[in-house]
Chains A and B, each alone.
Chain A
Amino acid sequence: MPGQTRWLPAALLVALLLPAPARSQRTFTISGTVKNAETGEALIGATVVVQELRSVGTLTNAYGFFSLTLPESTYTVVAQYLGFHPTVDTVRLTENRHFDLALSPEPIRVSEVVVSGERLRTNVTSTDMGVKKLAISEVKSVPVLLGERDILKTIQLLPGIESAGEGNTGYYARGGNIDQNLILLDEAPVYNSSHLLGFLSVFNSDAIKDVSVMTGDIPAEYGGRLSSVLDIRTNDGNEKEFGGTGGIGLLASRLTLEGPIVKDRGSFLISGRRTYADLFLKLSSDTTINRASLYFYDLNAKASYRLGDHDRVFLSGYFGRDNFNYPDLFGFDWGNATATLRWNHLFGDQLFANTSLIFSDYRYTNTVGAGTSQYEITSGIQDLNAKLDFEYFPSPRSTVKFGANAIYHTFRPGAVTSGPTSQANDLTLEHRYALESAAYISHELQILPTLKVDYGLRASSFTLLGPGTARTYDATGDLVSTQYYGSGSPIRTYASLEPRIAGTFLLDENSSIKAAYTRTAQYLHLLSNSTTTNPSDLWVPSSNNVPPQHADQYSTGYYRNFADDAYETSVEVYYKSMSDLIDYKNGADLQLNPDVESQLQYGKGWSYGVELLVRKNAGPVHGWLGYTLSKTQEQFAEVNNGNAFPARQDRTHDISLVVMYDFSPTWNFGATWVYNTGNAVTFPSGNYWVDGRLVPYYTERNGYRMPAYHRLDLSVTYNFSTRSNLNFSLYNAYNRANAYAISFRQNRNDPQKTEAVQFTLFPIIPSLTYNFNF
């Protein structure tokens, strides 16, 4: 398969480029970068429209770059971006032109309509389906738990994305599991996105520029996970002047410094965050408690430098650690580190290239006991990743993207190191190594003024490599044979062809219908002994025992804008089927088990639903209303007597309402309301007596429902000036006692009686945060 697929992208590319249309006229290219005029920060997804040619325009790419090749003439070029004043330039196109377009930010959304006249109704005209973009500035007044703005919580308010639990940064995309989400920070995969036991994500909003989340049509340049891509891009830093932003909250404080390295050529940004709840523990007189710790910190750093009109380099990194320690009993320490080196190069004016070298590492350490009898469990995963991406803009009607990527994974499933008097023996599970590689090509083509398609193919392969032992198991999970493979020798190879096709048909100026088909493959799997994200969750590679997962998704939708684009609406319908999903055998032992692959079973799943979205971007009152009606089921031969059952994340109804109101330059208000059907859970249907104990009897998997979840959050921001503000948030404003978990126990007074107990995590929680910039 890999041999066959290697030439495929190249062949496709040649096929695409050969039938170049006969040109009656000379053409030239306008290219450049759209930037924030105040900071020099490149703007991602800004629209660049040519006023004279209806519906001709483009969007800037992830580096703010655009390229438009047009017949010789004079044009009015309008660049616009939400929250910024548009720029209008007149260009006499008699030669190739390269220039930057600088947009000034609007201090506050005053205008109801961005620009009248020519616009790109991106949501209607693009082929994107199930793709939502959020600019950080857009969501700044969304109320948040404990005053910590968190991008992973904000995206959970979008249709098709469901929270994995109260206060949890984990999420489900269109019925997919938590591990089916590809989370990229400056292109580096982040393997564990949670801080503080899942209540906060590792992403510091101050350092983030742009977020896009894809749950439907996943473009061919992304791969490796089944259900969604979250592409997070960090700020480049101010290349005009030195400045800073920061915040002081109840839970954590943060500080960001940025400035030019060389004015208008290079910039840096460094952003840090730390919690300080543990500082209060130090005040305790108890010598155990005052040595306890519970904190996290993280650091984002980035530098960029322009080497001329055609080259730019970026170096960015993330480092974060959580520490949770109770002296003499246990300690937990975990965190991610990522680093990305990127080089943008422009070949001529139409071919944009980016080369990335990416490092990503996740590790955790669990210490048990104290002193010489202490032992320590460590585990982790590390990636070395090289990536090459090209974007070719032959004409405004046509964009070709192609590239390749290779990741070398190192898995450290677990090791025990013990003190001299510890009774535990030292143990190191074999490291596993794998090479995951992919090549892709996609072509976005405006076939007719009303019809646009984006078709592409991703060819991916995964090889588990030695040194290592391949183990085989019988049906009961007992070891049958082992075979050792030397360094670099392939143990098992898988390959997949992943077509990605999307099309848009414009019904009129304001409305369109779209359809998409996406096939995705996933070679890494997360094993967890909990329904929430845990630092000790274990990533395992596909192997001779563990097959890769695949998904096929079909979606279609109707998109319509109202009132001069003030309101964007959409209805999307999807059906997704997933194969080789993983479940655990009953009583599976996932920790430090060399035979962990024998503890798994494989099944299938499917999800379908309809998602409605009404979004208002412009004006003092903005926000969105999302509603999802969906069904997600799974089927495993050895679960539930082989019958299909609702997945835990099967949520029939899911509603999110987000309203932000910029009342005046001084006062901003925000409110969110969420409602969803409770998780599908397994409760007992009877009792029996065994070994002198009353034991619950289960008849079906996930046959019951948790109570519905709903919650209102409010926030008020008072701006002292453009330089500082005070934010007051109220989480769970009407103090709904939402069920985090329901368990059963014997009644204390009458042990013969069993009762159900509901555990509620968060009551109404006020918080105050002071934010500033200089």
Chain B
Amino acid sequence: MNSTMLPQRWILPAAVILLTLGLGACQRVVSIDLNKADPHIVIEGVVTDGPGPYTVSITKTGSYFEPSLVFPTVSGATVVLRDNAGTIDTLREAAPGKYVSSRLSGVEGRTYQLSVVAEGKEYDGTSVMPQKIRIDSVYTTVLRAPDGDRGYNIFVKFKDPPTQENYYRVIVHTNMMPPDSITGQRYLLVSDKLLNGNEATYQIRASRNIDPGDTLTVALFSVDRATYEYYSTLRNILSFDRSPTALAPANPNTNLSNGSLGYFAALTADSVHIVLR
């Protein structure tokens, strides 16, 4: 339960690198020819227990070495969100490829279903909004990195319920910096495999771009198993977290049907703000 630890699969490769750096191991930028894949559909939809509207965005993949912040969007799709309380909400395209809800609300315990018909194909996904787990407290201690940088150990306390199979995602950011940029880690994911039913203290090491006086926001998402699996298989392929000896990468495991990339999640969120001293 300690994210200051390197992920375990990284320990040995990291050691190999440390060991061989002494012998003059090096890295350099090389040019590689990659195939240009045909554009493929990407659907992303999230329903939270906060107030709507909820957004579903539909885009396409682009070329690897020439990415842009603007990817092709898919307009004119039929996008419907349903819950198991009988709500049916047909989403409105508010901007190209961006579809927003009007009637649906996120309630813990309910099952949500997304259906998309785009370019003649149908894609579906289902997600169950888990019980909301609240953060008990957040506190920090000052961290002195070996290189002299000042940072913080951030401790997030919460109580894991005695039921098995609870999955969490923790997000930390400051008013100055977005998520990832203060911890250098992409997905802070917790499952209760080893801590089921315990008081959990999740420790995060934040050592970059962080100063006294910044407002720190810590959010705890409770997600279902499919969403956890999506995030963890997504994390596996994000280059920062890939060890040099990792197994062959593959697209993340999605709960969407018919070969769509992306995911659909119903999740609950609790967040706490503190001012760093």
Contact = CB atoms under 8 A, between A and B. Distances in A.
B198 interface: yes
Interface stretch (A525-533, A568-576, A624-632, A667-675): A525-533
Interface stretch (B11-19, B98-106, B117-125, B129-137): B11-19
B8 A531 contact: no
Interface stretch (A125-133, A311-319, A687-695): A687-695
Contacts of B199: 423
Contacts of B67: 687, 694, 752, 754
Nearest to A762: B23
Contacts of B13: 530
Contact of B186 (A416, A584, A693, A742): A693
Interface stretch (B27-35, B79-87, B206-214, B269-277): B27-35
A536 B27 CA distance: 27
A273 interface: no
A447 interface: no
Nearest to A735: B24
B247 A693 contact: no
Contacts of B253: 586-587
Interface in A573-609: 584, 586-587, 591-592
Contacts of B244: 740-741, 743, 759
Contact of A757 (B23, B28, B250): B28
A698 B238 CA distance: 12
Contacts of A648: 248
Contacts of A707: 30
A719 interface: no
Contact of A423 (B1, B229, B242, B248): B1
A698 B247 contact: no
Contact of B246 (A324, A530, A765): A530
A529 B13 CA distance: 11
B25 A688 contact: no
B89 to A, nearest CB: 22
Contacts of B8: 366, 536, 591
Contacts of B229: 587
Contacts of A718: none
Residue in A691, A737, A745, A763 with the greatest tally of chain B CB atoms within 10 Å: A691
Interface residues of A, number: 78
B262 interface: yes
B181 to A, nearest CB: 11
A685 B263 CA distance: 20
A689 B19 contact: no
A562 interface: no
Contact of B195 (A423, A745, A762, A765): A423
A754 B238 CA distance: 12
Given A368-B2, A760-B26, A685 B37 contact: yes
A329 B20 CA distance: 20
A699 interface: yes
A686 interface: yes
A684 interface: yes
A771 B219 CA distance: 62
A199, A686, A693: residue with the most chain B Cβ atoms closer than 10 Å: A686
A530 B12 contact: yes
Given A423-B1, A423-B195, A690 B247 contact: no
Contacts of B234: 690-691, 695
A694 B42 CA distance: 12
A687 B238 CA distance: 11
Contact of B59 (A416, A688, A742, A762): A688
B15 A424 contact: no
Contacts of A566: none
A444 B40 CA distance: 61
B75 interface: no
A535 interface: yes
A756 B31 contact: yes
A755 B42 CA distance: 23
Contacts of A529: 9, 246-247
Nearest to B30: A758
B239 A423 contact: no
A742 B32 contact: yes
Given A584-B247, A586-B233, A745-B240, A763 B63 contact: no
Given A685-B37, A744-B239, A697 B61 contact: yes
Given A587-B232, A695-B237, A737-B28, A423 B61 contact: no
Contacts of A332: 11-12, 15
A701 B249 CA distance: 8
B25 A759 contact: yes
Contacts of A760: 25-28
Interface in A680-723: 681-699, 701-704, 707
21 contacts: A197-B16, A294-B19, A368-B5, A424-B195, A531-B247, A586-B233, A586-B250, A587-B233, A681-B248, A685-B37, A688-B40, A688-B60, A693-B186, A701-B250, A703-B35, A737-B26, A743-B242, A756-B31, A758-B28, A762-B25, A763-B24
Interface of B: 1-2, 5, 8-9, 11-13, 15-17, 19-20, 23-32, 34-37, 39-40, 42, 44, 59-65, 67-69, 71, 179, 186, 193-196, 198-201, 229, 232-234, 236-240, 242-253, 261-263
Given A425-B194, A591-B8, 13 more contacts: A425-B198, A530-B13, A530-B245, A686-B64, A687-B61, A690-B263, A702-B248, A704-B32, A742-B32, A752-B68, A756-B30, A758-B30, A763-B26
